[in-house]
Structure 1
Amino acid sequence: FSVPVLDIQRCDLNIENNNRSHHTELNGVERLIVRRGQTFTIILYLKPDSPEFRIGRTKLTLIAETGPSPRRQSDTKVSFSVGDSTVDTEWSASAITDPSGNTVSVCINSSPDSPIGLYSLTLTQGKQETNLGQFVLLFNAWCSNDAVYMRNEKKRQEYVLAQTGQVYRGTHKRIRGKPWNFAQFEPGILDICLKILDENPKFLSNADKDCSERKNPVYVTRVLSAMINSNDDNGVLVGNWGEISDDGVRPTKWIGSEDILRQWAESGPVRYGQCWVFAAVACTVSRALGIPCRVVTNFGSAHDVDANLLIEMVYNTDGERISHGDSIWNFHVWVESWMTRPDLGIKYDGWQISDPTPQETSNGVFCCGPASLTATKEGELTTVYDTPFVFAEVNADVVTKLQLSTGKILTVRESTSSVGRSISTKAQTIHCTFLDAQKRKGRCTRRPSTTTSYSREGKNLDSTSKYFTSTNPLSSVSKLKMHNDKKHYHVNLSLSLQLMGRARVNKPVTAELRIKNTLPEPLKNCSFTVGGIGLTKGKSILVRYVLSVHVLSAKLLNVHFFVLIWQCNITIRVNMQLTISFINIITFFVQRWRCECKRRSQRQCCVETHHRWLHSAAGEF
């Protein structure tokens, strides 16, 4: 007997329902975005004269393909028949028809070990092929068979779905959090993240092998570590730790990843970044692709150039450093990603350290990791990747040496506690709601702090030069003096923000920001930047102004926002064609506000704050 061929009128990818069940609804409903190892359903609409679908008699085969040259041998092309049930561990499909016989619902399960990326889906019936559409496949932290599986739902919410967070900087005695908009679900960001994978040199040299390896989060994480910096390739960020010219943005000015990624997609490597910017952008891309990721700061971070696990500081008798290889940074920021390590063994599963800041090369490329956090803690330095370098960052010994005029070198100090003084990352659930924010430890203070430099006959000595004592060969050096030509004050601002009028989705709204100058000096060249998820069409708002000298004077500024989405206990994206009304919460982020004034005494007054404002408003869609 002949096999009936269905006459398909159209295919509904059931985007809204599928995206919701796969935790990708924040990406929107413009296309299908699913996570591997989890079923999704598409609906085939049959023409009125089409043969009826019958299980066991109607032969349907689906083909899923990814990459420029899909091949079965590379797992970038797979074909599977539509049966009566699906299998959790491989590509499979089942189908049922509605009582009228007009539609066929096809349930598809992807393999939890599939390469991630953009896929095309084709239905074949004998020699007849029907293009059903495209979908994006991501890693799945909700699937127990996926290498990035996380058991804890709160951790999944934080390390995959949270679009805002904190990046910590400063010193181990003065840790300061900087709010950051990761914005991994903003329109177009996922496409940019996939473009980053397609721009990496491994893809350009062997696209088939690279696309096949995208099944492995270890491989993808290592690629991202190289591609977030631009040292070897057309990567995202250009690093700069010196003078910043007018051809780029100061690293301290960035408040989120979105502007950086969009600028890279339009015009190539973005100027400039430093460690926390590299790490935050890497976190955005990892979360967008489905890899659980967090930003981690190491205070007192060693840079061991020669991989001997020692940071050697050598000075001459004038207190000048004469070795310029090893160094210790006040802080350094990297990322940790969650995944299994089948290449190392189950013991090393869990958090993996990778560092996109270009410090040293690894296999000839400026990248670092992923190195198992467990291996790093236990000193298992033979494990891949780059574990000795990461271990030195947090656990190297510091040796301070003095070179005499005769050439003889004396060891004057050894320290095992100068490196890895504190390691910080944002705790779970500290975002979105006011009640959760109240649970954060700490208190608001208004306390000036003073930094002091030391000099000897006009030559500055850094903090490592404190070994000059009466018991060493430099006892004659006694003219150490303190000078305070500059003082830095950090105080909290008095800020208030009020929503003016009624906020409506997809409509402009104005907020009034009231700022008080708490210093007895006029503050010039002031600016503040406002950004937020779904508030400003992906562009931060920058306002410049001057605050007068009066202590109690206030500055009223009208800031115009464009509300794209609402943020409540969870973030949702709505269909703009619906009309409903309810009470919700809009979140405004005042990311960075900095003022400078130069007094006659050459003192510098800095006012710096990071705030998040939560305001209730009636919402109408």
Structure 2
Amino acid sequence: MPTVDTITDLANRFTNDLELCRREDRDFEIASELNEIADAALASKEPKIVSVDFQPMYNAVNHHCELYELVDRRADCVVVRRGGLFSMVVQLNQKVALASEQELKFYFSFGARPNVEKGTQAHLVITGKTKIEKPHDDWDVRLVQETGKKATIEVQIPTDAPVGVWKVAVEVKRRDQTGGRHLRRFDTHVYILFNPWNENDGTYLPEEKMRQEYVLSAVGTVFVGSYPHTRGRHWAFGQFDDAVLPACMLLLEKSGVSAEARGDPVRMSRALSKMVNSNDDAGLLVGKWDGEYEDGRAPAKWLGSIEILETYLRTRQSVKYGQCWVFAACLNTICRALGMPCRVVTNFASAHDTNISLSIDEYFDEDGDQIEANDRYVNPAGIRDSIWNFHVWNDVWMARPDLPDGFGGWQVIDATPQETSDGSYQCGPASHEAIRQGRVDLKYDVPFVLAEVNADVVRWQKDDQAEGGFKKLATQTSSVGRLILTKKAGPVATGGFFKSDREDITWEYKPPEGTRAERVSILNAARRTRTARQVFDMPSVAKEDVTFTIEDRDQIPIGDNFSVTITAANTSNEVRTINVVMTCASMYYTGAKAHTIKRHDGELHLEPNQTKTMSMEVYYSDYYSKLVDHDLIKSIVICNVKETTQCWGGEDNLEVHKPDINIEVLGPAVQGKAIPIRVSFDNPIPLLLKECNLKLDGPGLMRPKTVPLENIAPKGKMNFEMNLYPKKALECTLIVQFNSRELCNLTGAKKISVASA
């Protein structure tokens, strides 16, 4: 475990380096220092090291790392991948003859206590051999060529080398042992990353299209909303920003993961799922779900990960605030930055099972009114079972040598602090295949993830004669894990609710609902869990002869009215009397109610085989002031049949739609020249918009920026023009968000192709 002083020293070094990246006179200072060292070496007759050219861009290109800004901005920073060859040019103060005159030795070290046996240190002697001879999991070195006073060297980095910042020292002496040795330690940061391009690396991903998306794509889509009405929102992952890798290193140091363990993607991904939340180790983000964000930033107002990671690096304080999609998007950035293939995954109708019963339990009294469960049905923290409208986590791709064959590939990790695992708020990696098969005996956290995607919803009614005081009324087997989405490999969509870039991966987590394979999977898991066996073994007792349907709505434009409508059909030959309670509320995405919007109580009297409807009208004036993040409204209808005690509950989730932001490029997009853009939208509400601002982010195009705006008139139009100044020729995506006191979270995106000058 690193000491506080070690972490502080590391943080100081990284923040100082970040400042150097932004200073115009950096190159002059570094050149002056190198010249002084070179002059001293040249004056000596003994062999001395004048300089080492670490060839940062040459190595970066060969290692698929040329996009990292650190390589562009720092002459003393190298980013490479394990399993590759690392090229360097060493200049001595005399003619190079490494096979006969000089002995050249390289030292690579990692962590506070480097050790050869633990794989955190390597001693490499240049003997004059010109071939790499050792296996892929060992350090090796070869001489490429000697030209005058320079020697070109290539070092093989082991495919299981720990991932992080390595230090380099170079030593030279005469081979005849006369004279002393000359040792140069370099401040150069050598970042060694995972290598999904190398088949011997534990993160190897065979398809190039997948690597381009899940390792190299810097902008993506995070899906939110409620089933079946989903939508995407853009996120700037920005894993190549110059603040990201240093922030990753700081998080790893604080995680307590030993240096020798940082080559294992299983342990690394598990540690990162812990460090992205602040619950245990003052990690990256503070989670908050109550809508009160005055001392930080509302989760919905983040556009990307760069600002969060740089703030953490500079302040060394957890950033306020995050919710699941922010945790997952930042974790995605970190994993991709370190070279682990990673994607953001959204599970719609996501269960939070607090007692490992693989069920979400709802309770009713003797009259059929819903009640809270008593204390024995909650977890130690007092949290009850719930179903979130959506929940976002990550999949990482890796081999699983710690599991039986066939359980590698995509693995779930989750940084949102819901339940503890091994005493910390961490989750995963949980194998997709283990989840599909119901193998809750395999690590890590398979039961929790399985419940999230495939738990049954069980309704209980109070009965003093039943064991435990409740009898099981009914079970719904297809209410959880209705749809699981990720962004598919390829271009980022910029409209149409992102249907063109969404990929349905529900089948990867479970067999199709209602199939024999799906039931076998959940029952297989239930047999292995004591609390689940008690739930699944109890029979349902309710008589159900009235069918109910609730009208399903997609979304409504902000300002429109809507209605909640229930249809009841009596399929029996007897009269049925139904008590109906209709409620409409704004919701947090976790499924927790924010504010009640409207309620209606009524009764339906159905003759045999009769069908009737009941409706409740909801007006704009009812809901406008009660909306919260994501603008979700849930309508719930509870029906109790007096004659049979049948209890039915239905719900409809809808989203209040806000206008998209329009982004126009008004001139040619050329590297090094101003690109004029216009941002606009129509105010859809009859209110003056105050305290307005635009947030902009575009990895590779611009750094995150906030621009204040003038007030916008009721039903008026917002127009804003500005210039962008791209430094590189590239394909990029600009993301824009508008916020005001009265109307917030309007978003838009624009693909921009920047041409070479």
Percent identity between the aligned chains?
32
1:410-429 alignment runs, 5 A limit? 410-429=471-490
Once residues 563 and 220 of structure 2 are traced to their aligned partners in structure 1, the CA distance between those partners, rounded to angstroms, is 29
Counterpart in the other structure of 1:185: 240
Counterpart in the other structure of 2:678: 512
The reply to whether residue 310 of structure 1 matches residue 356 of structure 2 is no
Relative to 1, partners in 2 of residues 1:474 and 1:300: Cα closer, same or farther, differing over 3 Å?
closer
Counterpart in the other structure of 2:50: 9
How big is the shift at 1:18? 0.6
Relative to 1, partners in 2 of residues 1:5 and 1:71: Cα closer, same or farther, differing over 3 Å?
farther
Matched residue type, 1:541: T
How big is the shift at 1:556? 2.1
The reply to whether residue 105 of structure 1 matches residue 271 of structure 2 is no
For each residue in 1:208-238, what CA deviation from the matched residue of structure 2 results, as whole angstroms up to 9, or x when unmatched? xx10100101111011011111111111111
Say which SS state the counterpart of residue 282 (structure 2) adopts.
coil
Say which SS state the counterpart of residue 702 (structure 2) adopts.
coil
How big is the shift at 1:382? 0.8
How big is the shift at 1:508? 6.1
Matched residue type, 1:92: D
Q: Is the 8 A contact 2:222 2:235 kept in 1?
A: yes
Counterpart in the other structure of 1:244: 292
**In the alignment, which of 298, 309, 320 is matched to residue 347 of structure 2?**
298
Counterpart in the other structure of 2:183: 129
Once residues 321 and 734 of structure 2 are traced to their aligned partners in structure 1, the CA distance between those partners, rounded to angstroms, is 26
How big is the shift at 1:319? 2.9
The reply to whether residue 164 of structure 1 matches residue 164 of structure 2 is no
**In the alignment, which of 229, 249, 253 is matched to residue 277 of structure 2?**
229
Matched residue type, 1:67: G
TM-score by structure 2 length?
A: 0.68
Relative to 1, partners in 2 of residues 1:391 and 1:167: Cα closer, same or farther, differing over 3 Å?
same
Larger CA deviation: 487-496 vs 559-568: 487-496
Once residues 617 and 464 of structure 1 are traced to their aligned partners in structure 2, the CA distance between those partners, rounded to angstroms, is 50
Once residues 295 and 56 of structure 1 are traced to their aligned partners in structure 2, the CA distance between those partners, rounded to angstroms, is 55
Counterpart in the other structure of 2:454: 395
Once residues 119 and 618 of structure 1 are traced to their aligned partners in structure 2, the CA distance between those partners, rounded to angstroms, is 36
How big is the shift at 1:554? 3.5
Counterpart in the other structure of 2:440: 381
Counterpart in the other structure of 1:547: 712
Q: Which has the larger radius of gyration?
A: 2
Once residues 158 and 438 of structure 1 are traced to their aligned partners in structure 2, the CA distance between those partners, rounded to angstroms, is 17
Q: Is the 8 A contact 2:360 2:457 kept in 1?
A: yes
For each residue in 1:61-81, what CA deviation from the matched residue of structure 2 results, as whole angstroms up to 9, or x when unmatched? 321101111112321111123
The reply to whether residue 283 of structure 1 matches residue 450 of structure 2 is no
Counterpart in the other structure of 1:578: none
Matched residue type, 1:261: L
Matched residue type, 2:391: H
Say which SS state the counterpart of residue 247 (structure 1) adopts.
coil
How big is the shift at 1:613? 1.4
Relative to 1, partners in 2 of residues 1:508 and 1:297: Cα closer, same or farther, differing over 3 Å?
same
Say which SS state the counterpart of residue 460 (structure 2) adopts.
strand
Once residues 469 and 116 of structure 1 are traced to their aligned partners in structure 2, the CA distance between those partners, rounded to angstroms, is 62
Counterpart in the other structure of 2:568: none
Say which SS state the counterpart of residue 348 (structure 1) adopts.
coil
Larger CA deviation: 495-504 vs 239-248: 495-504
TM-score by structure 1 length?
A: 0.83
The reply to whether residue 23 of structure 1 matches residue 64 of structure 2 is yes
Q: Is the 8 A contact 1:302 1:419 kept in 2?
A: yes
Counterpart in the other structure of 1:589: 735
Q: Is the 8 A contact 1:370 1:385 kept in 2?
A: yes
Say which SS state the counterpart of residue 419 (structure 1) adopts.
coil
Once residues 129 and 179 of structure 1 are traced to their aligned partners in structure 2, the CA distance between those partners, rounded to angstroms, is 50
Larger CA deviation: 131-140 vs 389-398: 131-140
Once residues 453 and 406 of structure 2 are traced to their aligned partners in structure 1, the CA distance between those partners, rounded to angstroms, is 21
Structure 2: 5+ residue stretches without partners: 1-44, 174-180, 375-382, 504-553, 565-582, 585-598, 603-615, 617-632
Q: Is the 8 A contact 1:91 1:110 kept in 2?
A: yes
For each residue in 1:53-102, what CA deviation from the matched residue of structure 2 results, as whole angstroms up to 9, or x when unmatched? 2447753332110111111232111112333211433110101334x423
Q: Is the 8 A contact 1:75 1:114 kept in 2?
A: yes
Relative to 1, partners in 2 of residues 1:463 and 1:314: Cα closer, same or farther, differing over 3 Å?
farther
Larger CA deviation: 79-88 vs 258-267: 79-88
How big is the shift at 1:472? 4.2
1:327-346 alignment runs, 5 A limit? 327-346=386-405
Counterpart in the other structure of 2:749: 612
Once residues 381 and 335 of structure 1 are traced to their aligned partners in structure 2, the CA distance between those partners, rounded to angstroms, is 19
Once residues 376 and 565 of structure 1 are traced to their aligned partners in structure 2, the CA distance between those partners, rounded to angstroms, is 44
Structure 1: 5+ residue stretches without partners: 204-209, 569-585, 598-605
Q: Is the 8 A contact 1:292 1:337 kept in 2?
A: yes
Relative to 1, partners in 2 of residues 1:321 and 1:474: Cα closer, same or farther, differing over 3 Å?
farther
Once residues 231 and 371 of structure 1 are traced to their aligned partners in structure 2, the CA distance between those partners, rounded to angstroms, is 21
Once residues 429 and 136 of structure 1 are traced to their aligned partners in structure 2, the CA distance between those partners, rounded to angstroms, is 28
How big is the shift at 1:504? 5.0
**In the alignment, which of 54, 65, 77 is matched to residue 109 of structure 2?**
65
Q: Is the 8 A contact 2:203 2:341 kept in 1?
A: yes
For each residue in 1:244-300, what CA deviation from the matched residue of structure 2 results, as whole angstroms up to 9, or x when unmatched? 141111111111111111122223111111111111111111111111100001111
Matched residue type, 1:321: E
Give the number of equivalent residue pairs: 566
How big is the shift at 1:564? 4.0
Q: Is the 8 A contact 1:446 1:492 kept in 2?
A: no
Q: Is the 8 A contact 1:189 1:258 kept in 2?
A: yes
Larger CA deviation: 138-147 vs 239-248: 239-248
Q: Is the 8 A contact 1:492 1:608 kept in 2?
A: no
Relative to 1, partners in 2 of residues 1:215 and 1:471: Cα closer, same or farther, differing over 3 Å?
farther
Matched residue type, 2:638: K
How big is the shift at 1:413? 2.5
Counterpart in the other structure of 1:197: 252
Counterpart in the other structure of 2:726: 563
Relative to 1, partners in 2 of residues 1:97 and 1:409: Cα closer, same or farther, differing over 3 Å?
closer
How big is the shift at 1:186? 0.7
1:29-178 alignment runs, 5 A limit? 29=71, 30=74, 31-47=77-93, 50-55=94-99, 58-82=102-126, 83-86=129-132, 87=134, 88-98=136-146, 100-125=147-172, 127-131=181-185, 133-178=188-233
Relative to 1, partners in 2 of residues 1:76 and 1:432: Cα closer, same or farther, differing over 3 Å?
farther
CA RMSD of aligned residues (A): 3.4
How big is the shift at 1:158? 0.6
Once residues 616 and 333 of structure 1 are traced to their aligned partners in structure 2, the CA distance between those partners, rounded to angstroms, is 30
Say which SS state the counterpart of residue 263 (structure 2) adopts.
coil
Say which SS state the counterpart of residue 333 (structure 2) adopts.
helix
Once residues 493 and 360 of structure 2 are traced to their aligned partners in structure 1, the CA distance between those partners, rounded to angstroms, is 42
Q: Is the 8 A contact 1:13 1:41 kept in 2?
A: yes
Counterpart in the other structure of 1:217: 265
How big is the shift at 1:607? 8.2
**In the alignment, which of 497, 515, 532 is matched to residue 698 of structure 2?**
532
Q: Is the 8 A contact 2:252 2:272 kept in 1?
A: yes
Say which SS state the counterpart of residue 296 (structure 1) adopts.
strand
Matched residue type, 2:372: R
Q: Is the 8 A contact 1:169 1:176 kept in 2?
A: yes
For each residue in 1:550-603, what CA deviation from the matched residue of structure 2 results, as whole angstroms up to 9, or x when unmatched? 5xx5332123545344423xxxxxxxxxxxxxxxxx64222x346786xxxxxx
How big is the shift at 1:464? 6.8
Say which SS state the counterpart of residue 478 (structure 2) adopts.
coil
For each residue in 1:324-365, what CA deviation from the matched residue of structure 2 results, as whole angstroms up to 9, or x when unmatched? 521111111110111111111331111111111111111111
Say which SS state the counterpart of residue 540 (structure 1) adopts.
strand
For each residue in 1:119-147, what CA deviation from the matched residue of structure 2 results, as whole angstroms up to 9, or x when unmatched? 11222345442335441111111111110
Larger CA deviation: 4-13 vs 371-380: 4-13
Matched residue type, 1:247: D
Matched residue type, 1:611: G
Counterpart in the other structure of 2:416: 357
Matched residue type, 2:200: N
Relative to 1, partners in 2 of residues 1:377 and 1:463: Cα closer, same or farther, differing over 3 Å?
farther
Once residues 735 and 635 of structure 2 are traced to their aligned partners in structure 1, the CA distance between those partners, rounded to angstroms, is 36
Relative to 1, partners in 2 of residues 1:611 and 1:446: Cα closer, same or farther, differing over 3 Å?
farther
Relative to 1, partners in 2 of residues 1:617 and 1:474: Cα closer, same or farther, differing over 3 Å?
closer
Once residues 34 and 78 of structure 1 are traced to their aligned partners in structure 2, the CA distance between those partners, rounded to angstroms, is 16
